[in-house]
Structure 1
Amino acid sequence: MLKRPGRQESLADKIYRFRGTLLVVAIPLLLITFVLYVMPSSTSNESVGDYALVNRKMSPEKKSVGSYAVIFDAGSSGSRVHVFHFDHNLDLVHIGKDLELFVQKKPGLSAFAKNPKQAAESLVSLLEEAESVVPRELRSKTPVRVGATAGLRALEGDASDRILQAVRDLLKDRSSLKSESDAVTVLDGTQEGAYQWVTINYLLGNLGKDYSKTVGVVDLGGGSVQMAYAISETDAAMAPKVVDGGDPYLKEMFLRGRKYYLYVHSYLHYGLLAARAEILKISDDAENPCVISGYDGKYTPFCLPNAILMLSYILALFLTFHWSTRKKSFEFFLIFFFFLPYNSVK
């Protein structure tokens, strides 16, 4: 039997006829190609760790340890140490149940103005706490910084310099952390206020936004008060000029793709402890009509003005109609007149 001659089959016809077979083969090839494309080019532990960290698919047991940083805050009322743990994206990682290790102790470095070595020794327990949470293999790569504030700024002569040098010697001789010579410094008022502004606005998620969306900061410390807030570029041009070597009023910072102009000022001696000390100095020679001239000691006042005040209060107390109100007033009366000690003056 003779076959009827037909037209030659085209490539398109062949693809159509074997479409099922081609589909079965193509799907695995496409999957393999996709996997090879998204995987890192290197199979080293570091590359795998970076890839897993970005894609958040690695189990906690295999996750890279990241990096650490140790910061000492040497304030006027006490010293504190902060230890932070970062992943490769510089996001904070928990240390135990908290986002940082925080330990503090009193007094501050300025309390040892006449004994720099003792000032440095006061940081030993904090240093040991910090090193205990940093893996041993990372300690030589973990930076440590010490920032002193108003307490040391207020010291006279070279007392602060001698304390700072003693702290540098301590870190060099007794610490396994990475310490540079410029890592122990006294922050000026502008730096202190600016760093506080950055911290608060970072926690509030304001960094990267317009300056008008940020918040101002007022910090009442032990030895000084810092005020910092962001202003426009126009207002920044009108900031007061610095005189007599004082701290600048303006601090420029570039954060998350945006430039900020910070108006910052630090009021030295206006801190909680410093202000209290100044008030006590002023009141040391004050006179009181209820105290005998020349008397020095503790004295519970009960002179005529106070007696009249107390009797008037008792009368008003018992004329009160509601017992609940009377009871609370009577409790206040007892606290006010009998349990508040009076420190007499000369």
Structure 2
Amino acid sequence: MDEQREVQVKNPCHRPAFIILTAVIAVGIITMVSISVVQNKPLFQKYKYGIVLDAGSSHTSVFIYEWPAEKENNTGMVRQTHTCNVNGKGISSYSANPEGAGMSLQECMEEAQQKIPAHRHLETPVYLGATAGMRLLKMENEDASEKVLASVARSLQKYPFSFQGARILSGQEEGAFGWITVNYLSENLIKATGTLGALDLGGASTQITFVPKQEIESQDNAIDFRLYGNDYHLYTHSFLCFGKDQVLRLSLAEKFFSTLDKTDSNELRDPCFNTGFNLSKTYVDVFHTPCIKEQSASPKDFFHVGVGDWVECQNSVRKVFNTSNCGYSTCSFDGVFQPSVEGKFGAFSAFFFVMDFLKLTNGTLEEAKLKMKRYCSTSWKEITKRYPGVKEKYLSEYCFSGTYILTLLENGYKFTSNNWKDVEFIKKIKDSDAGWTLGYMLNLTNMIPAEAPDTPLMAHGGYVSFMVLFTLLVILLFFLAFLYYRRSTRTAQKDII
């Protein structure tokens, strides 16, 4: 019995030192887990901001973007938080009153001051990019365009932001930045599944940009980017004067100079406007644009009368496309080289707004033509009755605009019934507008690095889960070892007895 007591007393599991050591190990493991969780938990998010003004031909829009301050070189992190549409027409309309261009921006810029935290104002960059409307004004009157840009620059410098300049974008830049925007938002720039082509339509120009599978024969249409470690060789072209507003003028001019200008009549009968539409128009308001080279020897005002014949409308729209001359293996129109359109495309801006109104964003090309035929043949009286809340100027042009879009995509860019489904009409991607503005800001702030940013081995959630599970496993193994050791000790005691 004395020998058994001596063995039990010597059992290490019953010694205070062993118990204390076990407690210390357990506390240490718990502390390690707690520190790991606290150390790696997401901190309070700090945001940075950027402002881009899209000074288009028909209006100006102000976009506010935000992104996590510590993740500004990660793809898909920048998002649009606010949009403000400036009242009135585009800044190019202020050629006779340049100071009015700057004043027109005040309301939206004051709104931006309220939306962005005051402590971020001084570090928030502001960019203004002017597009085809200002490109046309520069062609017509360079001095006036410079005064308009100077006016908006002075206006933007009054606000407590970091003004980075106001400039006119080239058509190539507009197309390329639109491509960057849609692929950045879709996170295609870090995926190996391919990119999305970009189709943009404004009031004065239209752009097409995509990665072709064939060689780009015209270097004027080529642009290269290295983004997140990948090289992109893009085809891009911007057709100045082929935005929907300018093409409408071209179409009216063709009818005017071929018929009305040679007769005593003052009625211009137009198959692209609904039957019953009749509006008096001035010669200067319609034809005063650099896009119309020919001018009438005897300018006169006229009545624009709708006929509502879609087949004739499409025939008249086709006349604005010159497809007879091509010095390359393939062309779109006006002798411009274009590779075959392949892959998925995102069509945004006026492409979306017109097609969405006409409910043509889904379905086949043939179905879209049938719907357009029905819409154009509907009387103007019935159209105004169906859509009482739409401004008559925009409402009256939908037959023409829809026909132009179908003709541009099919006869201009050479989409067919087979790949029509590859064109997706989009307004937003992840709550951010599709367009050139985000791509423009990303490029100027260098937020898309040439090389892919380093990424941790595990995401935060995965790391914490791994640490917790691994620690629990260690504790479990320690506990099993303890039980095994205790059982072995008791067995040894019985053997001694």
1:274 Cα shift? 1.2
1:81 corresponds to: 62
1:141 aligned to which of 99, 119, 123: 123
Question: Aligned in 2, Cα 1:15/1:220: closer, same or farther, shift over 3 Å?
Answer: same
Contact in 2 for aligned 1:104/1:126 (Cα 8 Å):
yes
Residue deviations 1:217-248 (CA, integer Å, cap 9, x gap): 1111111110000135xx45x44133xxxxxx
What runs of 5+ residues in structure 1 fail to find an aligned partner?
A: 41-50, 94-98, 243-248, 303-330
CA distance in 2: counterparts of 1:37 and 1:191, whole angstroms: 47
Question: Aligned in 2, Cα 1:16/1:67: closer, same or farther, shift over 3 Å?
Answer: same
2:248 corresponds to: 276
CA distance in 1: counterparts of 2:63 and 2:181, whole angstroms: 14
2:238 corresponds to: 266
1:187 corresponds to: 169
2:109 corresponds to: 127
Provide the secondary structure at the position in 2 that maps to 1:262.
strand
CA distance in 1: counterparts of 2:381 and 2:115, whole angstroms: 51
2:162 aligned to which of 155, 161, 178: 178
Letter in 2 for 1:263: Y
1:266 Cα shift? 0.5
Question: Aligned in 2, Cα 1:116/1:206: closer, same or farther, shift over 3 Å?
Answer: same
CA distance in 2: counterparts of 1:29 and 1:337, whole angstroms: 82
2:218 corresponds to: 240
What runs of 5+ residues in structure 2 fail to find an aligned partner?
A: 268-300, 308-374, 385-391, 397-497
Alignment of 1:67 with 2:48, yes or no, is yes
1:311 corresponds to: none
Question: Aligned in 2, Cα 1:269/1:103: closer, same or farther, shift over 3 Å?
Answer: same
Provide the secondary structure at the position in 2 that maps to 1:231.
coil
Letter in 2 for 1:283: K
1:279 Cα shift? 2.2
TM-score (norm 2): 0.48
Residue deviations 1:200-229 (CA, integer Å, cap 9, x gap): 22233322234x621211111111110000
Contact in 2 for aligned 1:209/1:258 (Cα 8 Å):
no
1:114 Cα shift? 2.4
Provide the secondary structure at the position in 1 that maps to 2:163.
coil
Contact in 1 for aligned 2:13/2:19 (Cα 8 Å):
no
Question: Aligned in 2, Cα 1:333/1:192: closer, same or farther, shift over 3 Å?
Answer: closer
CA distance in 2: counterparts of 1:241 and 1:300, whole angstroms: 44
Contact in 2 for aligned 1:222/1:274 (Cα 8 Å):
yes
Question: Aligned in 2, Cα 1:68/1:24: closer, same or farther, shift over 3 Å?
Answer: same
How many matched pairs? Answer: 271
Alignment of 1:161 with 2:146, yes or no, is yes
1:27 Cα shift? 1.2
2:82 aligned to which of 76, 88, 101: 101
Question: Aligned in 2, Cα 1:177/1:298: closer, same or farther, shift over 3 Å?
Answer: same
1:301-340 → structure 2 map (5 Å cutoff):
335=379
2:228 corresponds to: 256
Provide the secondary structure at the position in 2 that maps to 1:207.
helix
1:335 Cα shift? 2.3
CA distance in 2: counterparts of 1:130 and 1:197, whole angstroms: 26
Contact in 2 for aligned 1:231/1:260 (Cα 8 Å):
no
1:36 Cα shift? 4.5
Question: Aligned in 2, Cα 1:213/1:283: closer, same or farther, shift over 3 Å?
Answer: same
Residue deviations 1:130-155 (CA, integer Å, cap 9, x gap): 11101112111111111111111111
CA distance in 2: counterparts of 1:25 and 1:126, whole angstroms: 63
Letter in 2 for 1:277: R
CA distance in 2: counterparts of 1:265 and 1:171, whole angstroms: 31
2:212 corresponds to: 231
Question: Aligned in 2, Cα 1:102/1:336: closer, same or farther, shift over 3 Å?
Answer: closer
Greater relative CO (CA pairs within 8 A, separation 6+): 2
RMSD over aligned Cα atoms: 3.8
2:467 corresponds to: none
**Which runs of at least 4 in structure 1 moved beyond 6 Å after TM superposition?**
299-302, 331-334, 336-342
Identity of aligned residues (%): 27
Provide the secondary structure at the position in 2 that maps to 1:85.
strand
Contact in 1 for aligned 2:266/2:303 (Cα 8 Å):
no
CA distance in 2: counterparts of 1:113 and 1:300, whole angstroms: 31
Residue deviations 1:110-131 (CA, integer Å, cap 9, x gap): 1112222111111111211211
CA distance in 1: counterparts of 2:306 and 2:224, whole angstroms: 55
1:278 Cα shift? 2.0
CA distance in 1: counterparts of 2:223 and 2:256, whole angstroms: 40
Letter in 1 for 2:22: L
Question: Aligned in 2, Cα 1:37/1:215: closer, same or farther, shift over 3 Å?
Answer: closer
